[in-house]
Amino acid sequence: MRNRIGIVRETKNEWERRVPLIPDDLKKIISEHSFTAIIQPSDNRIFPDDAYRETGAIVQDDLSSCDLIVGIKEVKIEDLFAKKIYIYFSHTIKGQSYNMPMLQKLMDLKCTLIDYERMVNEKDQRLIYFSYHAGVAGIIDTLWSFGQRLEREGISSPFSLIKQSLNYADQSEAEAGFKKLGDQIRTEGLPEQITPLVVGITGYGNVSRGVQHMLDFLPIKEVHPDQIHEIEKKSVTSSNTVYKVVFEEKDMVKSVSGSTTFDLQEYYNYPERYKTKFELYLKYISILVNASFWDTPYPRHLTKDNLKKLFSGTGKPSLRVIGDISCDVDGGIECTVKTTDPGNPVYVYEPENDAVLDGVTGNGPVIMAVDNLPSELPKDASVYFSSVLREYIPALVAADFSVGFDDLDLPYALKKAVIVFKGELTSEYTYLKNYLLKFSFLR
């Protein structure tokens, strides 16, 4: 039925409490465009069912009358309807094997799939994302992990003040906690065993912005990577300061040829011409936060061999925690050998025997690798996401999907994000046929 939109109940995991459209934004859409909205009931959603009823929306399980169905995460295969328009994070554009059955089912049902991850502008910059909130939640959980590790070592520190992200009511409460932590570091200082305290951050995009926003509540001094060795000198460091080092591509890799010049475009185009040099910084870093993109052609930021050398040397390394917000298994941070969830968020990677121990005890760094961090700040993340998505909903509902794809009148960002159109892969995503064939063969 035209002018009907449905919002699915999120079912991917128990931690997912976000919504694509918050009640205030949905109410505005309904009143301005005469839409009918149907919301599947949920006891887990951050905004209760009654808040949606007050917008004029219908709360019921059946979404079969809606042409457009909106969600955050993947819809279960058994819940998909034929010939519908779905918009959500499909996690398919890299050919993720675990979602090829879902993609094939969407095609079999002659559905249309629009993926938020591919909503970009003409410069190919993403327009809708949760990455900033991933950074915020990620650094909260990383510092919580640090406090837990120090406590396990018998070191009393102000980091015991920090809770996991999901235990704060919202970002404002977390910020108040960080401010309290910062005040205590300023007035009482840090224990000698962890001074100087150095937080290394790989990347400078939206995830990194979220990380640095929270760190700015602490007494931060930023140090350039080239000057990180100076931090080792006790005469120039302070126990009342947290040292922040942000690493860009040029800081983390070097030319295989031995050239001392760095060309960013060459690195993007020919990553095989570069190798990591991150081991130069590793011994100075207490907490490493991975907030950068990585893909298979590129050199890893941190290898297992780097860690083995660090932890097999004399003395206790400064590195205690790695907060891998990017969370690519066997990726840029090679010791991220598995993802975690908010219920069991950390494990120790032991470099000497390539082993993993859940918790914070072991001879190696604690790895925080929660793969759905924004869900730990569901209210703030939903408010932001909805503020962007609401501008695209009217165009989606108004578009005539009965025409061919070439004639489909959608804003650039939405049309760019159409992966499947009425059961067929669009031209930009035909490469996914190879992944679907692998799935079919295995099936």
Both tokens of 221, joined, read 């001094």
Each residue's pLDDT tens digit, 97-151 = 999 999 999 999 999 999 999 999 999 999 999 999 999 999 999 999 999 999 9
Give residue 443's pLDDT: 53
Query: Of 376, 400, 427, which residue constitutes the final position of a domain?
Result: 376
Residue 17 located in a structural domain: yes
Q: Is 410 left (phi over 0), alpha (psi -120 to 50) or beta?
A: beta
Distance of alpha carbon 397 from its chain centroid, rounded? 29
Each residue's pLDDT tens digit, 345-371 = 999 999 999 999 999 999 999 999 999
| Same domain flag for 274 and 423 | no
Position 258, amino acid: G
Give residue 39's pLDDT: 98
| Same domain flag for 124 and 221 | no
Please give the residue range of the domain that contains residue 140. 131-376
Residue 363 located in a structural domain: yes
User: Cβ distance 32 to 60 under 8 Å?
Assistant: no
Regions in the chain scoring below 70 on pLDDT: 1-2, 233-236, 440-443
| Same domain flag for 123 and 87 | yes
Query: Of 376, 392, 418, which residue constitutes the final position of a domain?
Result: 376
| Same domain flag for 367 and 395 | no
Give residue 76's pLDDT: 95
Position 11, amino acid: T
| Same domain flag for 240 and 369 | yes
Give residue 1's pLDDT: 46
User: Cβ distance 180 to 104 under 8 Å?
Assistant: no
| Same domain flag for 96 and 203 | no
- What is the domain-level CATH number for residue 288? 3.40.50.720
Query: Of 376, 399, 415, which residue constitutes the final position of a domain?
Result: 376
Residue 97 located in a structural domain: yes
| Same domain flag for 166 and 26 | no
| Same domain flag for 279 and 416 | no
Residue 336 located in a structural domain: yes
Residue carrying structure tokens 């235990």: 167
